């Protein structure tokens, strides 16, 4: 066992779900062949990777499918125009196509699909696939702002997604005559244009299913016509299928629902247990599979995964880091362990639209009283105690994070965190000061606060145990609401506070916009501040770094002033793999974390 330092990311929202087991080995003969290859230093024919939440959607561009559990699998199934490497550098992959800025005024970006790009059913890929991604994420074709049931729109158009930049393309994108080139013309500059658009789900399948057309080309033509004519009657069923048609929890009978354009194909999927990916024989791009078969098994218990690694049932996994997990891994002889700090950060959210203690509705619409109650809660919340007790034993250099928008260590962190004033506003857990705030607000305790906690997540349980007595001194009665389905319940209004992790998926300055703007994809607390909305809109069209930082400082200060919650710490990271089976594992700090670099995986490294 060796320990190495890294910087890796965990998951966007750590969810507790059903335990599982991997499929049995095909034969003793295959096992011996694998062993011979490993001994020769070659990559094994098959490996098993552990994860904590099962896959459930092939479309991770929807608000419901936007989860790391889906994106890590889709990352291996579908090709991309770009990705981030282990140094958070944006890398272009030209296997399926290219893109370039052809004008600054107006901002114009031209995408060209490679001539030989093909879906695994044999249908050529073209700019129609990119057009579908644009239509799905821009919101420009929606006829309603939201839908209670996105699977039955009743003739209305609602693509259940959002993007900070694509809405700025107000004119319908232009398709070339051969349907290989798509041109976006922005009405305003957009700072993150390079990461605004990528391939998503196949246009031909979406249109075939939505419109009931059997021929792939005919279906694509019908979709393009619907877009160009802004035909709501045709776009409505297409949107319905785009929203939910690619959601599944076991291998569908219809192979069109999980086509490949990347290095792997999905060949098996047992609900709640495992998904198996097999190398795509037709893929000839820049990131080919180095290992023929990858099985991802699901288990929410990291200590159980440690045991699976020791038993040879797992070859690679990235658990939520706790002292118990690290100590258990250190006892596994064949374990290679990498530890460090990742791009996910813990935060505490206070819900403002559920009639609970942080909602003005609880005080007859008195927003100022609700604000003071939130301020009191955050003033008592012992962020430093949490870091000292739970994180420093794993990462001795760990500190409280004091910014919603910027990661510690980033160039703008010091200035933005200082301008925001989170540390000054909330301190490190002062129950007496918090009680005084409640008294000044004329609010008597104890105030019941329902805290949503994943049923089997030890670190979140430990956090609750640290927080509860201190908040009780301040006048808050914290009620633990432990659920095995907590991840599915986020944002449903049935709790008052929750602590979980947001993961950075890119270096875009607009990445956090969806979390804090009114009605944003990740705005789970009902927060709304028109000034914040306007500043994020301004940030999106600002390209100068110093001006971006200035806007971020303004946003940060408003978020702190509004007492929406607070950040707590950066996740400590642990990646473990069987050094006797696999080598050259380099986890990335951004999504897809441990799945990054699958094309570089080899047999065991030399000691």
Strand partners, 183: 110, 174
pLDDT digits (tens, 9 = 90+) for 55-100: 999 999 998 898 889 999 999 999 999 999 988 889 999 999 999 9
Crossing angle for the helix pair 216-228 and 203-211, to the nearest 10 degrees: 80
pLDDT 10s digits, 97-135: 999 999 999 999 999 999 999 999 999 999 999 999 999
Beta bridge partners of 26: none
Question: Is 60 exceeded by the pLDDT of residue 327?
Answer: yes
pLDDT in tens, 564-590: 999 999 988 889 999 999 999 998 878
- Exposure b/e, 318-339, CB count within 10 A at least 16 = b: bbbbbeebbebbeebebbbbbb
507: pLDDT confidence band, cut at 50, 70 and 90?
Answer: confident
Run of H or E residues at 5: strand 2-6
CA 505, chain centre distance (Å) = 6
DSSP 461-494: HHHHHHHHHHHHHHTEEEEEEEETTHHHHTTSSS
| CA 209/CA 145 separation, integer angstroms | 24
Distance (Å, whole) CA 62 – CA 244: 9
Per-residue pLDDT band for 197 (boundaries 50, 70, 90) equals very high
Distance CA 173, CA 42 (A): 47
Is residue 8 within 8 A of residue 594, CB to CB? The reply is yes
d(CA 258, CA 461): 37
CB 38 within 8 A of CB 54: no
Share of the chain above pLDDT 90, in %: 76
Cα(226)–Cα(580) distance, integer angstroms: 55
Quote the pLDDT of residue 6.
38
Query: Residue 107 — φ and ψ, nearest 5°?
Result: -60, 120
Q: Is 247 helix (H, G, I), strand (E, B) or coil?
A: strand
Residue 274 vs residue 324, higher pLDDT? 274
How many other C-beta atoms are found inside a 10 Å radius of the C-beta of residue 529?
17
Our measurement of the distance from residue 437's CA atom to the centroid of its chain's CA atoms, rounded to an integer in Å, reads 36
For helices 413-420 and 545-561, angle between their N-to-C axes, nearest 10 degrees:
30
Furthest CA-CA distance within the chain = 75
**pTM of the entire predicted model:** 0.80
Proportion of the chain above pLDDT 70, given as a percent: 93
pLDDT, position 606: 65
- Check whether the bond before 62 is cis (ω within 30° of 0): no
Q: Nearest-CA neighbor of 331 among 309, 315, 312?
A: 309
585 CA to centre of own chain: 21
Residue 605 per-residue DSSP state: P
Q: How many CB atoms lie within 10 A of CB 262?
A: 26
Tokens of 264: 């792997």
CB 600 within 8 A of CB 584: yes
Residues 197 and 61: beta-carbon distance below 8 Å: no
What does the pLDDT look like over 422-468, one tens digit per residue?
999 999 999 999 999 999 999 998 999 999 998 878 889 999 999 99
The whole-number pLDDT of residue 37 equals 40
C-alpha pair distances (Å), 18 with each of 70, 78, 351: 16, 26, 28
Pairing of strands 565-578, 335-350: antiparallel
Mean pLDDT of the chain: 90
DSSP string, 117-183: -B-TTSPBP-HHHHHHHHHHHH-TT-SSS--S-TT--TT----S---SSGGG--SPPEEPTTS-EEE
In the block, residue with structure tokens 């939440």: 53
d(CA 110, CA 173): 10
* Domains, the chain, ordered by start: 16-73+251-342 (3.40.190.10), 75-244 (3.90.76.10), 343-506+565-571 (3.10.105.10)
Q: Given the DSSP bridges, would you call strands 46-51 and 293-298 parallel, antiparallel or unpaired? A: parallel
The answer, yes or no, to whether residue 317 has pLDDT greater than 80, is yes
Whether the per-residue pLDDT at 17 is higher than 60: the answer is: no
Q: How far apart are CA 201 and CA 61, in angstroms?
A: 9
pLDDT of residue 13: 32
Is the distance from CB of 574 to CB of 317 less than 8 angstroms? no
């Amino acid at each position: 066992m060796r320990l190495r330092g890294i910087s890796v990311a965990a998951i966007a929202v750590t969810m507790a779900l059903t335990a599982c087991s991997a499929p049995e080995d095909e034969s003793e003969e295959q096992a011996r062949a694998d062993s011979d290859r490993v001994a020769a230093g070659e990559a094994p024919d098959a490996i098993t990777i552990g994860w904590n939440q099962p896959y459930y959607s092939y479309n991770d561009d929807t608000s419901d499918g936007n989860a790391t559990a889906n994106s890590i699998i889709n990352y291996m199934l579908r090709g991309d125009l770009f990705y981030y490497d282990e140094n958070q550098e944006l890398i272009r992959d030209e296997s399926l196509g290219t893109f370039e800025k052809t004008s600054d005024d107006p901002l114009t970006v031209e995408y060209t699909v490679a001539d030989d790009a093909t879906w695994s059913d044999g249908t050529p890929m073209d700019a129609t696939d990119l057009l579908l991604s644009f239509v799905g994420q821009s919101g420009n074709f929606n006829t309603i702002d939201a839908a209670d049931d996105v699977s039955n729109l009743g003739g209305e158009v609602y693509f259940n997604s959002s993007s900070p930049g694509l809405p700025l393309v107000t004119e319908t994108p232009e398709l070339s005559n051969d349907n290989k080139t798509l041109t976006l013309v922005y009405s305003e500059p957009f700072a993150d244009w390079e990461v605004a658009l990528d391939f998503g789900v196949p246009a031909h399948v979406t249109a075939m299913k939505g419109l009931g057309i059997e021929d792939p080309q005919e279906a694509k033509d019908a979709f393009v016509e619907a877009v160009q004519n802004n035909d709501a009657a045709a776009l409505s069923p297409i949107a319905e299928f785009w929203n939910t048609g690619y959601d599944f929890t076991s291998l569908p009978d219809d192979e069109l629902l999980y086509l490949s354009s990347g290095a792997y194909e999905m060949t098996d999927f047992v609900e709640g247990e495992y998904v198996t990916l097999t190398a795509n024989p037709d893929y000839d791009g820049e990131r080919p599979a180095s290992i023929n078969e990858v099985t991802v098994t699901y288990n929410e218990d990291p200590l159980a995964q440690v045991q699976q690694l020791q038993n040879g049932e797992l070859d690679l996994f990235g658990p939520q880091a706790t002292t118990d997990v690290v100590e258990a891994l250190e006892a596994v002889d064949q374990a290679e362990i990498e530890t460090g700090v990742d791009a996910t950060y813990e935060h505490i959210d206070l819900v403002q639209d559920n009639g609970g203690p942080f909602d003005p509705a609880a005080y007859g619409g008195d927003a100022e009283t609700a604000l003071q109650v939130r301020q009191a809660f955050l003033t008592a919340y012992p962020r430093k105690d949490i870091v000292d007790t739970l994180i420093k034993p794993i990462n001795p250099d760990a500190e409280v994070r004091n910014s919603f928008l910027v990661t510690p260590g980033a160039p703008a962190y010091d200035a933005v965190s200082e301008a925001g004033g989170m540390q000054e506003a909330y301190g490190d857990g002062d129950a007496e000061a918090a009680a005084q705030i409640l008294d000044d607000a004329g609010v008597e305790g104890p105030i019941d606060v329902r805290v949503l906690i994943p049923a089997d997540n030890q670190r979140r349980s430990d956090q609750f145990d640290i927080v509860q007595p201190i908040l009780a001194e301040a006048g808050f009665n914290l009620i633990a609401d432990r659920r095995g389905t907590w991840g599915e319940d986020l944002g449903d209004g049935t709790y008052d506070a929750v602590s979980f992790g947001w993961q950075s998926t890119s270096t875009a300055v607009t990445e956090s916009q969806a979390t804090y703007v009114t009605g944003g994809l990740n705005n789970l607390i009902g927060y709304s501040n028109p000034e914040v909305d306007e500043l994020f809109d301004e940030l999106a069209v600002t390209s100068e770094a110093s001006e971006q930082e200035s806007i971020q400082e303004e946003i940060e200060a408003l978020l702190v002033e509004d007492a929406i919650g607070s950040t707590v710490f950066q996740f400590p990271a642990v990646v473990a793999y069987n050094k006797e089976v696999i080598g050259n594992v380099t986890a990335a700090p951004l999504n897809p974390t441990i799945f990054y670099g699958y094309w570089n995986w080899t047999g065991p490294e030399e000691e």
